[in-house]
Each structure stands twice: as structure tokens, then as C-alpha cells.
Structure 1
Amino acid sequence: MIVPGSASQALGAALAAETGHSLAAVDYERFPDGELMASVTMDDTDRAIVVAATTTDAAHVELLQLQDAVREAGADEVVTVLPYMGYGRQERAFEAGQPVSARAMARAISTGTDRVILVNPHEASVTDFFTVPCTVVDAAAQLADPLPPELIDPLFLSPDAGAIALAESARDAYGRGDVDYFEKVRHSGTEVEITPSDAAVADRDVVVVDDIVATGSTMSESIGVLNDRGAASVIVTCIHPLFARNARTKLERAGVSAIYATDTVERDVTATSVAPVVADVL
């Protein structure tokens, strides 16, 4: 059965439809003292597939409760799908005495599951922190689904050279276009120059492909650069649309033409689902 966390209800339904599994009945409550309670009613206890993006501290607690609840319900096997893993970018301690938060979260999650499926972690090394088998799936190709079919001489841009595989996957799924990446030159602690490395952008539809949009600061600056260079349109695509604080406003003010994202983090810009690629490895 598919057991959705409260932050992943649409993805849970999409995964149920993709796999033919039924959806478990899940209740999310909060006691007067503020503590959470997630409870599950399951018809089939052969395997429980818990699908929960841990976008907040509360979502982490809820996930641990769901894992425990399906065990209490009699699940023979527990698979945990992490569409988005919170704290996954803190994969090392930058100073003595700081936690390796990704390791702490991975260890906690591992205690309640037999297997983990992780969608596009920002740092690939976090998989080493799980003490159960962890499978990574790449959802970048899904970002091509909502793109208009008539893009003009499309150019797919990644935020840096290290992430160019994301842009290549989206371009390959779309079927045509060039691939390039942004070069970042830091002039000071606060001033960063962002330019596409090689390709011309004038009069072209540019698709910026990223794994995460968090604060939107770098992305909005990139949009401004592309518009200044005469791009016909600038479309932002990302796998994990965190959109912290005023990130969405930053992108709109910068002149973005459209924003498309997956349902790893369910937002109003969600336009495609990672359910097919997750289903492939279940």
C-alpha cells in the first residue's frame, strides 16, 4: 500500500495510480500540547510504501511516526520514498562542533525502514549515511513534460558545470536543443557575475534546469542576465521547488516567462510528477 505523508498527498495518489497499489487511510492530528500524531489504516500489510517529503522538522517527525505506524499495522516490508530529503545539503560539518545533519536524519530514517528511495539528492554522498539500501532516482527528464512543444531554438542551461547532466537529461527528453551551463565569477563576498559559458542566447527560448530552487537569489539573477542578453523567453524548471520566503516573487520580478517543477515538493508550480521514475524502482 502507498502511505502518503501530509506534504506528499498528490504524489502519493500519483504513485498509487502509476503502480496500481491502493492508498492507505492516513490521519494527521496534533495534540493540545503541540505534539504530532500520524496514524494509518491498512488493508494490505505485505508491503508499505511510505511517501513523505521532509520539508520541515515536523515532516521528519511525521515520517518516523508513519514508519512506526505501518510496522504496528503489521507491514512485512517497509519502503520509504523521500521525494525531497530535508537537511540533505548539510552533508559535512563546516566547523568543529557542528552536526552532519544529513547523517543524523539518514540514520533516524533508516531505523524504521527496509529500503530508501531518494529523488535527486543535492549531495550524492548522503546515500552513504543510510544504514539500509538506498536507491537514487533521477527525475530531470520529467521536467521536459510541461515544456511547450514549439520552443524557439531551445537552450537548456544548468546552474554550473557540475550539474550539466540535469540539463542534458531534460534536453534529451524534450528531443532537441543545445546544452550549456552558467559560469560564476565571484568579485567580492556579495558580488557574483553569472554568464552562460559559451552559447548565444539572443532570440532563443532558454530553459534553466536546476535540482533545487530555495531562496531564488541566484536563479533570479540568472533570469536577469538572460533577459539582458536578449533571450526570447526564460523558463525555469526544477525538481525540488522549495521557494523559501519570497523566492517566487524574486523570479517573477526578474522576468521569468514560466516556472515548471515536479511534485517532490508540492507547490502551485508543480506541473509534472516523479511517480513514473519512482515506480520503475519499486
Structure 2
Amino acid sequence: MIVSGSRSQTLAAALARELEQPLAAVEYDRFPDGELLASVPDFSAADTDRAVIVASTVSSDAHLEVLQLQDAVREAGVEEVVTVLPYMGYGRQDEAFEAGQPISSRAVARAISTGADRVLTVDPHEEGVCDFFEPTAEAVAAAGRLADPLPADLTDPVFLSPDAGAIELAETVRDAYGEREGEDEGEVDYFEKTRLSGEEVEISPSDTAVEGRDVVVTDDIIATGSTMSEAVAILHERGVDRVFVTCVHPLLTSNAYTKLSRAGVEAIYGTDTIEGPASVVSVAPTLAAALETNY
């Protein structure tokens, strides 16, 4: 039985189809004092021995929904609770950056672990956050799916990652694209990133020649789009042909979509780990394969 959080309903439905599993009826309510209530009124453990909760924790409310849904299916007597976090909120806070700060990803992982027998999350920003869960969460790699919506006619493409540490992400998309097209995969490079302060980062393209070429920028998460839009503008100054932006988790907060479009991005492609206008490819097949492993 697939149980959906309120922010992952499209993905949960797609996953139910992939696994040929029923989709539970879920109700999301709020009391007059603001408290949440996520429930599965018709859920019965007699119908299934496993409940798979699919919920991206894009907000504090979404985190609470996960805890409530875990408790609800456990209360109904289900034998195994599997929690799938397509996007794990607070996953970037994997250490105390200043004295007195919490390790937020550890705090939320501990809370979620209390109600889950197994946890999966898609392409976490820092894979080490999986160790904060008990048992250890499974990181599911879905970046290769980002090659699916790319045009078949890319011209001498360059696949760029946001920094040297994430170059494997660009390589994954490049390899998947090359396999799809059955031709040379293209060049891989990364942006040069300079941290100016605790919150401010400057990012600029490397010295790779881009004139007359198509560039695919690949990232795991795009939030405000500010630094990336600046880098894309520089690519255009260097005579790039088209720029496509791909990301696993398209947060795209506030006016991020507009920033990137104004910078000259041809298209923005993301997955449905976070559901929105850029969510053009689903990670449901990848999650289905992972869920069927060791089951």
C-alpha cells in the first residue's frame, strides 16, 4: 500500500502504478489552532503487510506529516513501514556550521527513524546524512533520469556541474545522454565556486570553450537560482549556443524560474521529487526498483 504525503501526491500515484500497489486514501486537515492532522481513515493492515509512505519533506509541516502517517499506519497494525523521502529537507545541514548550532539533518533523521523500518531518499545533497538514520537510510541515485527530456540534437554538448565535488552528477547525465543517443557523450566540466561568506557564494564557468556549443548545467538542488543565473549569463557572454538546466530537486523558490529564464536558459528540467512546473521526469521507476530490492 502506497501512502502519500500532501506534497508528493503525483509521485506517489506514479509509484503505485509502477509497483501495481493500491494507493491509500489520505486526509490532510488542520485544527483551528493550526495543528496538523494527516490520517488514513480507511487503511487496514488486513489488506497489506507493508505501508510505503512517500513524502518529500519540503517544509516543517511536511516533516510532521511523515511522523503522523508513520504512526497512523503503525496504529492500524501494519507489519512494515517503509518511508521514502524523495527530497529530504534539512539534508544540507549535515554539520554544526557555528558553535551552538544543531545538526539539523541528524535531528530530523532521528525523529523519522522512530517510525520506520526502512528509509530511502533520492540523491541527498550530502550522502553522509543517510548515516543519521537507524537503520541507515538508502540513497537512491536518480540523476540519470535527467537525460530523458534533453533534446536529441545537442550541439557538441558540454555538461557542467556546480563544483568539482559534484562532477559525478554531470558525468551521470552525460553518460545517460550518450547511451540514449548512441553517440559520443560530450565533454564534462564544472563551475569554479568561491565562497565569499557563510551565505554568499560566487560561481563562474571554467575556461572550457563553449562558443557555438550547447551546455547542460546539472545540479542536485536549485533553490533561489541566483548564482546559477549569473553563471549562465557569463556563458552567453562567451558565445554559448543553448543552455539547459537540469536538477534532481527543483526547489526553485520565489522568482528562481524567472531569474534563470531571464539569464537565457532554454529550458529547466527537474524530477518529481519536488512537484512543480519543472518536474518533467519521474523518479518512480527508479524508486520502484529500489523498493523491490531485498523485499
TM-score band, normalised by shorter chain? over 0.9
Alignment of 1:169-184 (within 5 A): 169-175=172-178, 176-184=185-193
Residue in 2 that maps onto 1:203: 212
2:158 counterpart of 1:148: no
In 2: Cα distance, 1:261 partner to 1:95 partner: 32
Distance 1:141 1:191 in 2: 27
Shift of residue 131, structure 1, vs aligned partner:
1.3
Do 2:193 and 2:201's aligned partners in 1 also have CA atoms closer than 8 Å? no
216, 227, 233: which is aligned to 1:218? 227
CA shift digits 1:176-230 (9 cap, x unpaired): 22211112346x5568351224x31111111000000011111111211111111
Q: Which amino acid aligns with 1:84?
A: Y
Tell me the SS of whatever aligns to 2:210: coil
Task: Name stretches of at least 5 consecutive residues in structure 2 with no aligned partner.
Answer: 179-184
Deviation digits for residues 45-74 of structure 1 (CA, Å, limit 9, x no counterpart)? 310000000000100011100100111122
Equivalent residue number for residue 8 of structure 1: 8
Report the CA distance shift for 1:232/1:91 in structure 2 as closer, same or farther (over 3 A). same
Among 97, 103, 106, the residue aligned to 1:103: 106
Runs of 4+ in 1 over 2 A off after TM superposition: 41-45, 188-193
Letter in 1 for 2:278: V
Cα deviations by residue, 1:62-100 (Å, 9 ceiling, x for unpaired): 110010011112211000000011111111112222111
Secondary structure at 2:239 match in 1: coil
| Aligned counterpart in structure 2 of residue 239 of structure 1, from 248, 254, 276 | 248
* In 1, Cα distance between equivalents of 2:202 and 2:110: 36
Deviations 1:132-163 (A, max 9, x none): 23111111100001111111111111011110
1:11 and 1:191 map into 2 onto residues whose CA distance is 32
**Contact residue 45 and residue 74 of structure 1 kept, 8 A:** no
Q: Which residue of 1 aligns with 2:126?
A: 123
> 1: distance between equivalents of 2:276 and 2:258?
14
5+ residue gaps, structure 1: none
Contact 1:114 1:133 in 2 (8 A): no
- Between the aligned residues of both structures, percent identity stands at 64
Match of 1:38 in 2: 38
Aligned equivalents of 1:98, 1:185: Cα separation in 2: 24
Deviation of residue 33 (structure 1)? 1.1
Task: Tell me the residue number matched to 1:50.
Answer: 53
Aligned to 2:68: 65
**TM-score, length-scaled by structure 1:** 0.96
SS of the aligned residue for 1:16 comes to helix
1:59-98 equivalences under 5 Å are 59-98=62-101
